[in-house]
Structure 1
Amino acid sequence: MELPRITFIQKIKQFSSYRIGYVLVIAAAALAGLIHSISKPLLEYSNINTVAISPVTLAAVIFIVNGLFFTPLQKNTDSISKIGRKNLLLLALIGIAEASAVITYFFGLKESTAVNASILTNGEILFSILVAITIFRERLQKKELPPFTMIILGIVLLPVGFDLYHNGMIITDLVYGNLLILLSGAFYALDINLCKYVSNKMNAKTITQLASFVAGGFALCLIFVFQIPFEISISHLPSIAIIGIFGTGISTFFFIIALRLIGAVRTILLYSTTSVFGVIFAGIILQESITLAHVFSIILVSIGLYALRNRLGSDEKIIHYFKGNVKDALP
């Protein structure tokens, strides 16, 4: 009688872990979805926001805040001297790639809409698959071509094509902003692949903390070289804190824990709801219009990701990076 009782208790614990994992990944997606709607008002003039923050300045502050957030979690970790020059160089490249991605994204968001940004940021997934195909010589199977095409249609052709058609096939500031957001996805894909490479050398906290400080330092260098105004008012600080701590730091933290609790496939699929949350927040917070084209884009991307779930979730390098280091990521 004791063995069935133990099995029953284990099943209850497993169910509780799954439930916690589902809650955490949905929370991570919701927090990440806030970034678009919270960032855009900071980048443009309005009756409330009398000072528009430069995208480079905003990126610098967010990265520094994120690095400081992860600093207290760096207990019992190796010192920088033990990391090695090669890994430090790779961390520097990761930081520069992250800074380039965020700065490009903010410049694009300034010209585009938060609704478009919520959809176009899925370009990171598209470029990651393209990197795997071109660099790692992976091939898409025949059954994977239709969903991959759906992802391209949902992320690129439908949002950008709709805006081009709506503006008479002229590259307006809106279309230009959309293209910059897509470009930021390419930088994010480079960042992910570099993180995969160094993941077996150090834990996730070290990568996040040091890369954030490098990215912040790189952005500060751009501010100094190009003499970009460093204009931030006290009223901006709550929004910046939400973006840096909640939208980036805690969101990533929840994502890492969810990977361990419910696995890569479920986590990646549920985290893709970031687009849905982003569109909803843009409609509620910024009162932006949501068209049928936006809804159709999200549906296409969601179906495509679901069909490619095994490819995305079974990537051994992704699982090694997140699940292999999640124990060290916990405080």
Structure 2
Amino acid sequence: MNKNAHKWSGVIAALLAAFLFGASTPFSKAFLPQMSPQLMAGLLYLSSGVGLGVYWILRGRSNRTDKEARLTGKDVPWLAGAFLSGGVIGPVLLLIGLRETPASSASLLLNLEGVFTALLAWFVFKENFDSRIAAGMALIAGGGVVLAWNGQRIEGFPWGSLAIIGACLAWAIDNNLTRKASASDPVQIAMLKGLVAGTVNTTLGLLLGSKLPGLSTLLATSLIGLFGYGISLTLFIRGLRHIGAARTGAYFSTAPFIGAIISLLLFRDPITATLLLAGCLMAAGVWLHLTEHHEHWHVHEPLEHEHLHYHDEHHHHAHGPHDPPGEPHSHWHQHEPLGHSHPHQPDIHHRHGH
């Protein structure tokens, strides 16, 4: 494959994930009066898990050779932590925070998820970055703050705001832990996450007194969940695989702006100076990321793993009689030590020190 193919594959996946999730927001808002936020979140997650589960089963019965690597025992600790932090702790903390914090303040604080994702990726998980990437992340996050800001001061501190900040941190941990398992099947990961998070949040919503909506609302919510959460999360995980957590999180942070644009087109929301300023800031940040050029001499340590791959410069391995034919394909393979220089992103083969 072309040396930049992985980068653009990850960029497109992250932006499509942001588009689908951003589009789900105005549509979800239309049904929110009919159920509690907790129950709606649960149904959106649960429908995404069920929908992806049907696709995963049908795909497994096909004769396709380009099948993704399934999850292994090594992925379980990372995903268990991700599901706990992002699927259980995050939504509960958000619910607690929303009870004590005005919506305007909550919208501002929720922009911290992208910031926390990048900070954890850079300083805890040692994902590489430079001043250009940091500036791009700051511009995108700044656009989100501008979009959410309505001139009111942040109230409800400390407990409500602290809970929402904790939810953002939980989701940032989720993003970085999921990245550790991103070589495996994104559909399987997103399916399991949807089922776990959906079951937990739906159960909590019902226990808190919420009632299930009518059949038409339930079907509409399921469709929103499949595309806005299930397919979006699958694409997000593909982004994690190819461009890392910080860059994927940065592109995904454009979702509120996408939601605002869709609200403008479908619901005739007014065009405001705030919307235009937010769009300019986010566009500048995305441009800084898209035009990044990261190239230096680096050494690949010996590595054994399984993932969907082509036979490119990083995959010069022999095949056994039972390995699948055609490309791309997935099988267990070994990487010998390799030193070279080329443009690259922090994908699953380039998580080296700098």
Matched to 1:244, the amino acid is G
Verify the 8 A CA contact 2:140 2:253 in the aligned structure 1: no
Q: 1:274 to 1:240 in 2, by over 3 A?
A: same
Higher strand share: 2
Partner of 1:36: 25
Partner of 2:83: 95
Matches within 5 A, 1:26-175: 28-44=17-33, 52-72=34-54, 73-74=56-57, 75=60, 83-84=72-73, 87-99=75-87, 100-101=89-90, 112=103, 123-136=112-125, 141-142=130-131, 146-156=135-145, 158-159=146-147, 162-163=149-150, 166-167=151-152, 169=153, 171=155
Matched to 2:209, the amino acid is I
Partner of 2:262: 281
Partner of 1:251: 232
Verify the 8 A CA contact 1:105 1:181 in the aligned structure 2: yes
Q: 1:35 to 1:97 in 2, by over 3 A?
A: farther
1:267-307 Cα shifts (integer Å, max 9, x gaps)? 95876654443111122334444421232123213312332
1:135-163 Cα shifts (integer Å, max 9, x gaps)? 2356864555544443443233x345x42
Matched to 1:243, the amino acid is I
Partner of 2:178: 195
Verify the 8 A CA contact 2:43 2:222 in the aligned structure 1: no
For 1:306 and 1:180, locate their aligned partners in 2 and report how far apart those are by CA, in whole Å.
Answer: 33
Q: 1:43 to 1:103 in 2, by over 3 A?
A: farther
1:8-64 Cα shifts (integer Å, max 9, x gaps)? xx99xx99xx999998776554332211101112223xxxxxxx3111211222222
Identity of aligned residues (%): 22
Q: TM-score when scaled to structure 2?
A: 0.60
Partner of 1:47: none
> Aligned-residue CA RMSD in angstroms?
4.9
Q: TM-score when scaled to structure 1?
A: 0.63
Verify the 8 A CA contact 1:95 1:212 in the aligned structure 2: no
| Structure 1 unaligned spans of 5+ | 1-9, 45-51, 315-322
| Structure 2 unaligned spans of 5+ | 62-66, 296-305, 310-327, 331-354
Verify the 8 A CA contact 1:39 1:243 in the aligned structure 2: yes
**Corresponding residue to 1:298 among 263, 267, 279:** 279
SS in 2 for 1:71: helix
Tell me which moved more, 282-291 or 293-302. 282-291
Q: 1:137 to 1:26 in 2, by over 3 A?
A: closer
1:86-126 Cα shifts (integer Å, max 9, x gaps)? 74454333223333445666886x9648xx96x98664332
For 2:294 and 2:161, locate their aligned partners in 1 and report how far apart those are by CA, in whole Å.
Answer: 28
* 1:216 matches 2:198: yes
Tell me which moved more, 121-130 or 211-220. 121-130
SS in 2 for 1:235: helix
For 1:279 and 1:97, locate their aligned partners in 2 and report how far apart those are by CA, in whole Å.
Answer: 28
SS in 2 for 1:171: coil
Matched to 1:303, the amino acid is A
Matched to 1:171, the amino acid is E
Verify the 8 A CA contact 1:204 1:328 in the aligned structure 2: no
Higher helix share: 1
Q: 1:105 to 1:223 in 2, by over 3 A?
A: closer
Partner of 2:300: none
For 1:151 and 1:89, locate their aligned partners in 2 and report how far apart those are by CA, in whole Å.
Answer: 31
Q: 1:313 to 1:125 in 2, by over 3 A?
A: farther
Count of aligned positions:
284
